[in-house]
């Protein structure tokens, strides 16, 4: 799922393309996509775009009649920009937003249709869609600490909770925790103040660095938005060497999510139980990274 760095770059490039321009026509190609009936979508046509915003992991187009178009990409949704006259890709296109400067196309790979489009009437309705997570890049340490310690859950769960923190998902939470050298299963209320500050600094640093990197790589438009990058330290790098200590990166698999971590850097060498594999191996499950074959 595109997270804060990806959505930030999308909004910046989209603002370059359509800020101040009229949205000539919107075509929804799959009926499941549009999740609202009022206001009707045709009210957005012919209106000028007065702003592009990020709402958590959503892209928001603000129109001059007070309406907002809210695009949630979910896991496999992506945005493409086509020059005037460009043809949207076939089966994966869900909607097209036509401007005189080009066409914005919302696509979604795979068969699970999770991406969504909402039309909301005003700023109050838009704010009602906000889960409430803070923007760590503008928050101070005290605010970060209050959110982190509000409930007692694992750090992985806390960082990815949109009610607590805005725009952080599976990929960047792995990178943040590796940078902070903290276990993904450490309970938030077991943290020392120094660890909270360490996590705060790591969160800001990772999100800033990756936003800058993706911004530089995007050029005119971000064409390859993915949760997996070869420059990442641990996310998506199971079995590959940690860039800090060289220990093979480990993982915890649960449902559709995978947590990647370095046992030596983050858990004192302890291997965290994988719900599927550790139960299968039982007594044969290695407890320490040094026991790995």
pLDDT digits (tens, 9 = 90+) for 142-188: 999 999 999 999 999 999 999 999 999 999 999 999 999 999 999 99
**pLDDT-derived band of residue 206, with 50, 70 and 90 as boundaries?**
very high
Q: Are residues 45 and 170 in the same domain?
A: no
Q: Are residues 15 and 120 in the same domain?
A: yes
The pTM of the full predicted model, rounded to 2 decimals, is 0.93
Q: Are residues 146 and 263 in the same domain?
A: yes
Give the whole-angstrom CA distance, residue 217 versus residue 33.
Answer: 30
Q: What is the mean pLDDT of the chain?
A: 93
**Phi-psi sector, 276: left (phi>0), alpha (psi -120 to 50), beta:** alpha
- CATH number for the domain that contains residue 285: 1.10.8.50
pLDDT digits (tens, 9 = 90+) for 107-146: 999 888 899 999 999 999 999 999 999 999 999 999 999 9
Range of the domain at 56: 4-128
**Does 136 reside within a domain?**
no
What's residue 186's pLDDT? 96
On the question of pLDDT at 293 being above 70, the answer is: no
Q: Are residues 277 and 159 in the same domain?
A: yes
Phi, psi of 257 (to 5 degrees): -105, 145
Let me know if 64 is exposed, middle or buried by CB neighbors in 10 A (0-12, 13-18, 19+): middle
Contact 54, 68 (CB under 8 A): no
Q: Residues 6 or more apart from 62 whose CB is under 8 A from it? A: 49, 50, 51, 52, 53, 68
pLDDT digits (tens, 9 = 90+) for 38-55: 999 999 999 999 999 999
What's residue 277's pLDDT? 46
Picking from 128, 154, 169, the residue at the C-terminal end of a domain is 128
What's residue 288's pLDDT? 77
**Does 135 reside within a domain?**
no
Q: Which of 10-14, 105-109, 245-249, 288-292 has the lowest mean pLDDT?
A: 288-292
């Amino acid at each position: 799922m595109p997270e804060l760095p990806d959505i930030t770059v999308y909004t910046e490039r989209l603002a370059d393309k359509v800020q101040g321009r009229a949205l000539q026509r919107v075509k929804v190609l799959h009926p499941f996509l549009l999740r609202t009936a009022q206001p009707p979508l045709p009210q957005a046509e012919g209106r000028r775009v007065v702003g592009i915003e990020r709402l958590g992991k959503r892209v928001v187009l603000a129109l001059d009649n007070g309406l907002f178009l809210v695009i949630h990409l979910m896991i496999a949704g992506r945005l493409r920009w086509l020059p005037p006259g460009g043809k949207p890709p076939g089966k994966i296109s869900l909607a097209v937003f036509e401007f005189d400067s080009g066409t914005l196309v919302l696509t979604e790979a795979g068969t699970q249709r999770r991406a969504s489009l909402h039309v909301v009437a005003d700023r109050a309705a838009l704010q009602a869609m906000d889960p409430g997570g803070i923007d760590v890049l503008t928050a101070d340490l005290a605010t970060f600490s209050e959110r982190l310690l509000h409930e007692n859950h694992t750090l992985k769960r806390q960082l990815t909770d949109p009610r607590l923190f805005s725009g952080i998902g599976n990929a960047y939470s792995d990178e943040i925790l590796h940078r902070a050298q903290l276990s993904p299963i450490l309970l938030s209320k077991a943290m020392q103040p120094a660890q909270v500050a360490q996590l705060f600094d790591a969160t800001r640093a990772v999100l800033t660095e990756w936003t800058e990197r993706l911004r530089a790589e995007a050029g005119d438009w971000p064409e390859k938005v993915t949760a997996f990058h070869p420059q990442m330290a641990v996310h998506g790098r199971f079995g590959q060497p940690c860039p800090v200590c060289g220990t093979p990166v480990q993982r915890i698999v649960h449902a559709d999510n995978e947590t990647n971590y370095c046992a030596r850097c983050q858990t004192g060498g302890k291997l965290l139980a994988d719900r599927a594999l550790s139960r299968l191996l039982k007594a044969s499950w290695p407890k320490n990274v040094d026991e790995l074959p």
